[in-house]
A and B are shown apart, each in its own frame.
Chain A
Amino acid sequence: MIYQGKQKIWSDYQKEIPDDNWYYVRSCIRQNFFPASEKMFTEITRNVLGKDVYETPFHTTCGGIAYHCDTIPQETVMTIVARQFALMTEAGYENYCPSCITSFGNYAEILETWHEFPELEAKIREDLWKACKREFKKPKYLAHSSDLIYHWRNEIADKARYRLVDKETGEPLKIVEHIGCHYAKMFPHKAVGGAEYPYVLAGMVESWGGQVIDYPERRHCCGYGFRQYHVKANRGYSISNTHKKFESMEPYHPDAIITNCPGCPYFLDRWQYVIAEQTGKTYGRGGYGIPVLTYEELAGIVLGYDPWDLGLQLHQVAVEPLLDKIGIEYDPKAKYLGLNKEDLLRPELPTVLKCC
């Protein structure tokens, strides 16, 4: 691909991201999949960067999963979203930041729909008032939490303790960036870099010293696809998509994968175990897999947080080879100790995929 062409497209798709005062809403599933990621987002933004990031326990699901599974109509989703906006308005914020990619796509779709069909927005306002006597203002700015980390990537780089380089050779680590489908594929102009060349994760990797890998199936879905995975009979389709991506990236020998979606890191991580059990094949060096990290986890790594406080022990694919390559200090014995230092016991090891 022509580098100058990419540069031009990236410059066409830059979005305005305010520097402070964000209303943050968590994902339904991320806290189960990679529980430290959202905690790390608030830790980094509030305590490391000193930003005002507010969240409320009254926030609920955005309805995105049910909407994309065709189980609830869009008007219902809109009323749920209207309530979230009402909570933001009541808290005195105007910048809305969802942690989930599907939520981000959902909010973008609803705001765009209300823009095109104001009568629908009026109806939803009425429905919300009837349901819970709330009113709302639409957010001035909508940005995904990865947009914010992208926006502050250089500040993080300035405070970083580690760089994404091989400590032995000094070479940048080869990183695959995987963007959630609902981030840019539905509304490219809402994304940093558009749908073809989203720069949100690539920008982080470059700022933190790594090298982004360009491979043929780079923009292919991770394979989650709600209706593929949630119906067991369709799971072969889900894993086949993931397999296709790994087959495509394998010749480039990536050191890690960074993602910005709730489902992608989970499926790219866990399906490596299933692919290994089904085919006997692993994609990392020496029988290991390719570690899959969320952008908060990667930010936490470069900032020098303890890998076990980042929840990296909850990944299926062992992260130790990556940590060793960067030269990160960690205590292997503390891997399965809880926050209260209580032993969490050891998981059963896979038969093919090598784990530490």
Chain B
Amino acid sequence: MMDFGFSLSKSSTLNLDTADLSLYKKLCELSPDARTCMACGSCSATCTAGPFSGMSVRKVILDLQRGRDVKAMVQGCMLCGKCIMVCPRGINTRNLILNLCKIYDR
């Protein structure tokens, strides 16, 4: 393999016609404010657990919108609630994570 000095990331190709969005839809029923997220990343920037566990509320919502599983990420949340304080859209992110845990527990 030739070394060009830069490398290729894994393809994140998305097909919304085939992606399973049921998890996101269920979450939106329980936490409708999830729909107002604009993916600014304030929640992830302030997250204490993120650097250690890989938890990122922004990524959780984006991944759900793309039909991906987020169980491992959600398990890294400490439910401290700092993300609620910085969200410019006023999303109750802790409640959102708790609702997501409930969906996974069902």
Contacts and interface: CB of A to CB of B under 8 A. Distances in A.
A244 B6 contact: no
Contacts of A248: 13, 15
Given A236-B7, A278-B8, A279-B8, A216 B13 contact: yes
A239 B13 contact: no
A233 interface: yes
A232 interface: yes
A216 B12 CA distance: 12
Nearest to A215: B15
Contacts of B12: 244
Interface string B12-55: 11111100000000000000000000000000000000000000
Nearest to A233: B6
Interface residues of B, number: 15
B11 A274 contact: no
Given A277-B1, A277-B2, A278-B2, A239 B14 contact: no
B3 to A, nearest CB: 9
Prevailing SS type, chain B contact patch = loop
A216 B17 contact: yes
B15 A243 contact: no
B8 A239 contact: yes
A348 B4 CA distance: 17
A243 B17 contact: no
A235 interface: yes
26 contacts: A216-B13, A216-B15, A216-B16, A216-B17, A217-B13, A217-B14, A235-B4, A235-B5, A236-B6, A236-B7, A236-B9, A239-B8, A240-B11, A243-B8, A244-B11, A244-B12, A247-B11, A248-B13, A248-B15, A277-B2, A278-B1, A278-B2, A278-B4, A278-B7, A279-B8, A280-B1
Interface of A: 216-217, 232-237, 239-240, 243-244, 247-248, 274-275, 277-280, 351
Interface of B: 1-2, 4-9, 11-17
